[in-house]
């Protein structure tokens, strides 16, 4: 019993809950191998930034959460249909030994897969994904097209404008915040701040 509990402590100290997760440069290379569209690459970096920030807030592992954000849409460019995305990509991630909770979260971010979002990781990914799209779209209509010009209020206003960035699913942003247990206004402000902190990397 003592040995077992010691091993459990060692696991936590060694961070083996990240077992199977490749280093970030390999994950980025996998993303780039499958995704050439600059906008999709930026979206991946944006969701990574949001996920890292939420991991820190919730006391979770930023590398695991960031990796999940970075790779969640990597199959979308070549396999965008609901029949394939994100199952096609998840099969590749499974082959490469990505941890199950990461794969479950990626499946769960596409509501139509019916995969329940049972972990904070899955709920954070679902909550951040569409919101990152909304924030980026809002930045691109500012005079200087920068994130620095975006305020939480401007994002919330744009969310209410149905003709703006029609492909962004507002219902999913609201549902995501509810599932995550973060009030919508706070969620928008939090993710915006996370993206603004990475504005240079995002080129916005
Ligand atoms: Fe996404």
- Span 77-132, pLDDT tens digits: 999 999 999 999 999 999 999 999 999 999 999 999 999 999 999 999 999 999 99
Mean pLDDT (the chain) is 92
Q: Taking Cα atoms as reference points, which of 34, 186, 60 lies closest to residue 120?
A: 60
Per-residue pLDDT at 142 exceeds 90: yes
Q: How far does the centroid of ligand 1 lie from the alpha carbon of residue 79, in Å?
A: 13
Q: How far does the centroid of ligand 1 lie from the alpha carbon of residue 125, in Å?
A: 8
Q: How confident is the model at residue 15 (pLDDT cuts 50, 70, 90)?
A: very low
Q: How far does the centroid of ligand 1 lie from the alpha carbon of residue 5, in Å?
A: 39
Domain 23-202 - what CATH class? mainly alpha
Q: How far does the centroid of ligand 1 lie from the alpha carbon of residue 43, in Å?
A: 7
Segment holding 124, helix H or strand E = helix 120-140
Q: Can you give the C-alpha Rg of the chain in angstroms?
A: 17
**Cα–Cα distance measured from residue 72 to residue 159, given in angstroms and rounded to the nearest whole number:** 23
What pLDDT does residue 2 have?
A: 44
- Cα 168-62-24 angle, rounded to 5 deg: 85
Q: How far does the centroid of ligand 1 lie from the alpha carbon of residue 160, in Å?
A: 21
Per-residue pLDDT at 149 exceeds 60: yes
Q: How far does the centroid of ligand 1 lie from the alpha carbon of residue 179, in Å?
A: 17
Q: How far does the centroid of ligand 1 lie from the alpha carbon of residue 13, in Å?
A: 31
- Ordered by start, the domain boundaries in the chain are 23-202
């Amino acid at each position: 019993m003592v040995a077992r509990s010691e091993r459990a402590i060692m696991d936590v100290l060694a961070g083996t809950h990240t077992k199977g997760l490749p280093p970030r440069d390999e994950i980025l290379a996998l993303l780039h191998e499958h995704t050439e569209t600059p906008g999709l690459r930026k979206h991946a970096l944006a969701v990574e930034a949001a996920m890292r920030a939420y991991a820190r807030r919730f006391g979770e592992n930023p590398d695991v959460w960031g990796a999940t954000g970075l790779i969640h849409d990597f199959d979308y460019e070549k396999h965008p249909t609901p029949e394939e995305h994100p199952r096609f990509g998840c099969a590749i991630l499974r082959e490469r030994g990505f941890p199950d909770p990461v794969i479950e979260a990626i499946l769960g971010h596409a509501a139509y897969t019916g995969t329940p979002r049972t972990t904070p990781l899955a709920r954070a990914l679902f909550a951040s994904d569409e919101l990152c799209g909304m924030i980026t779209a809002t930045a691109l209509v500012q005079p200087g097209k920068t994130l620095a010009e975006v305020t939480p209020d401007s994002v919330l206003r744009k969310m209410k404008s149905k003709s703006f960035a029609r492909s962004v699913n507002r219902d999913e942003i609201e549902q995501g915040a509810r599932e995550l247990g973060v009030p919508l206004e706070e969620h928008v402000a939090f993710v915006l701040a996370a993206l603004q902190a990475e504005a240079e990397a995002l080129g916005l």
